[in-house]
Structure formats: C-alpha cells, structure tokens
Amino acid sequence: MRLNPKIVTQLQKKIAAARSILLLAHEFPDGDAFGSVAAMNFVLKHMKKKVDIAYLRLDNSSWDYLYFFKGLNIHEYSELAEKKYDLAIILDSSNENRLGEQKVLLSRCSFVINIDHHPDNSEFGDLNLLHWASAVGEILYFLFKKMKVDISRETAICLLISIITDTGRFKHSSTHRGIFKVIYEILKFVEPDDYYNIVQHLYSEVSLKKSKLIREALNNLEIFGKNIAFSYIPEDTGLEEGLVDNILSIKGIGAAVLARRVGKNIKLSLRAKDKTLNVRELAAQFNGGGHIHASGASMQLQDLPKQIEEIRQKVKKYFNKK
C-alpha cells in the first residue's frame, strides 16, 4: 500500500505539534474501530502525547480480557465535555454522523484528522488519510511503518484485532493477498499465545443470551426471491453485533439484512456474500452507506412494527428488481 506521502508528512507534522490528542471512532465500535483507535493510542503514548479515547457504546465485555484494557484511557463523551484538544484523530468513520452524539467533541479540537477505508468517506477532516484497505488497521500498519515508529506488542495485538475482525476472519471479499503479508509482519511483534487468545475470545464461544438472540433472528427470518434473507430483532439488547453474519452464513443465502432496535433508532445491517449483489446501494435508500458487501443504515424509531414492515417491503422490492 502506498499512502499519499504529502498527506502522511502533514499528518506527522500535526501529530508532532500536538500535545493533547483525542481519538474517536464510530459509535458501537466494532473490532476495527476498537483496534485501530487503541493501536493509535499506543503509538501516540509512546511519543509522549496526552491521549484520551472516546468510545461510544463500546461492548466492554468483548475486550476486557485484553491485559491492557484497563490501562486504556477510555471515556464516554459526556465526561470530556469541558476538555479541549490540539488534535482529534477519527478512525473508521465514513462521516461525522457515524460518531453519534460524541460528534459535539469535534468543535473543541483545533484540528481533525480522518483516517478511513470506507469508499463513501465524506472527507470531513481538516486532513484526510483515505485508502482502500480491508481494515483501518491495515492503513495504520503502513502509516506506522512510514512514521518509523516501533510497533509494541500492544499495538500489534490491536492491529491484529482490527484486521481479523474487519476481514470477517479473512473471508470477506476485501481479503487480498497482501493482507497475509501484513499479518505475517505483525505477528513478529506479539507473544506466541497472543494470536490464539485473540481468536479464541473472538470466535470460540457465544453467550447464552446471544445464542437466544440468534434463535430469535432465525424465528423471524424470511427469504425473498432466490437467496435474500431478511430478519429483525425488536428488542434493544446491545448484543446484535455480528448477528447478521449468522443469517448470512446459511447455505444458499446470498445477502442478508437485519433490522433491530438500538436506543431511539432502528439500525440496519446489510451483508452480501454473493459478489454480484450490492448492498450499499440498498443501504443508500435508507440514507446509509458503507462497503459494497457490508453496509448499514440508521433511522429514528417511531412506530417499530410499521417501520419494520416498510423496511421489509423495500428490501423485497429492491432484490426483486435484480
């Protein structure tokens, strides 16, 4: 990956000049959002910067097994309401709205750097480091190399988490051969058991609560046309991350759409494993976006059954035309 050298130079200058830095990612941080922010945090800490992390609605239980988790300087945005920063670095967010309510923090940051891999990124930063990549963690690996910073064990673990999760453990269409080389390089910086521990925690067990949610999603499952799966979860459980993949993994299914309640919103997750299907186009009909084969959208909750029915009809209609 060849990052734009001018942008990298500007970014380095901004980091060098900044004393206080705020790191942010999209709300409901997934592995890429969690890992890329945490990796950047370790690199900046090594450079003796004052760093705060704002995660909004992070599922702590997914990450608190990490030996360094407690030491991360994580805050809810409301705790940072009075603070000012020389610099904000935003990772894995295609636009400012993906930050959710914590967007308000940006007005108190003198400069905003946006580092992302979403093709529909709105370039909302004062400086934008955008590159096609399987994960933001992949961009960071090349950025850190360019910056000639030492990659610590913690940084390497975070980059692994970011890449393993955003490639869907190397099964999404974004998985390219170069990523294995990156993984090979990153593995040099971790301890022998680290990789095993990460994948065990990520993939070897599912809580009973979540298993019951999977059952609910399967109960509500409908199949449109040849291979389109649609389902919904009416409750707000905070455990739906990855649930859409359970539906998508059903043999013969080419694309899956899951709607669920999240606070005062309804969130849609769309995934395709049939490469001819573009779910981003459908997400755009709900004012969402993302990648061609993994996208999402969010809308205000008004009347859940009515809205679920409208979404259902739109999904059905969209794929009927295909």
Positions touching Mn ion (CB under 5 A) are 32, 92, 166
**Which listed option, ligand 5GP, Mn ion, none, makes contact with residue 93 (CB within 5 to 8 Å by class)?**
none
Closest distance between Mn ion and the C-beta of residue 262, in Å? 18
Say how many C-beta atoms besides its own lie within 10 A of residue 239's C-beta.
Answer: 19
Shortest distance (Å) from residue 217 CB to Mn ion: 23
C-alpha dist (Å) from residue 82 to 85, 107, 150, 271, 273? 10, 11, 33, 39, 45
- The item of Mn ion, ligand 5GP, none sharing an interface with residue 295, based on CB under 5 to 8 Å by kind, is ligand 5GP
One character per residue 117-156, x = contact with ligand 5GP (rule: CB under 6 A): -x--------------------------------------
- CB contact at 8 A, 124 and 107: no
* Residue 278 contact among ligand 5GP, Mn ion, none, beta carbon within 5 to 8 Å by kind: none
Whether 1 contacts 178, CB under 8 Å:
yes
Among ligand 5GP, Mn ion, none, what binds residue 294 when CB lies within 5 to 8 Å by partner kind? ligand 5GP
Contact 52, 22 (CB under 8 A): yes
- Check binding of 168 to ligand 5GP (CB under 6 A): no
- Which residue number has the CB closest to ligand 5GP? 296
30 binds ligand 5GP (CB under 6 A): yes
Binder among 254, 290, 311, 319 for ligand 5GP (CB under 6 A): 290
**Side chain identity, residue 244:** V
Residue that the structure tokens 């899956």 belong to: 256
- Exactly one of 113, 161, 297, 315 binds ligand 5GP (CB under 6 A); that residue is 297
CB of 113 to ligand 5GP, least distance (A): 19
Task: Please state, in angstroms and rounded to a whole number, the distance separating the CA atoms of residues 192 and 40.
Answer: 23
Answer yes or no whether residue 278 interacts with ligand 5GP by CB under 6 A.
no
3-class state of residue 215 by DSSP? helix
Least distance from C-beta 159 to ligand 5GP, angstroms?
A: 17
Q: Answer for the pair 243, 233: CB distance below 8 angstroms, yes or no.
A: yes
CB of 108 to ligand 5GP, least distance (A): 24
Cα–Cα distance, 289 to 228 (Å, whole number): 19
Segment contacting ligand 5GP by CB under 6 A, of 190-198, 215-223, 249-257, 283-291 = 283-291
Residue 27 within binding range of ligand 5GP, rule CB under 6 A: no
Q: Does 165 bind ligand 5GP (CB under 6 A)?
A: no
Check binding of 162 to ligand 5GP (CB under 6 A). no
Task: Report the Cα 132 to chain-centroid distance in Å.
Answer: 15
226 in helix, strand or coil?
Answer: coil
> Which residue from 120, 92, 132, 158 is spatially nearest to 4, judged by alpha carbons?
132
User: Which residue shows structure tokens 């003796």?
Assistant: 48
49-78 residues in contact with ligand 5GP (CB under 6 A) are: none
Q: Pick what 269 binds: ligand 5GP, Mn ion, none; C-beta below 5 to 8 Å, kind-dependent.
A: ligand 5GP
* DSSP state for residue 109 in the 8-state scheme: B
Separation of alpha carbons 59 and 39, rounded Å = 18
For Mn ion, give the closer residue by CB, 28 or 318.
28
**CA separation, residue 27 to residues 2, 18, 274, 305, 321 (Å):** 29, 25, 28, 25, 33
Binding residues (CB under 6 A) for ligand 5GP: these are 30, 94, 98, 118, 269, 288-291, 294-298
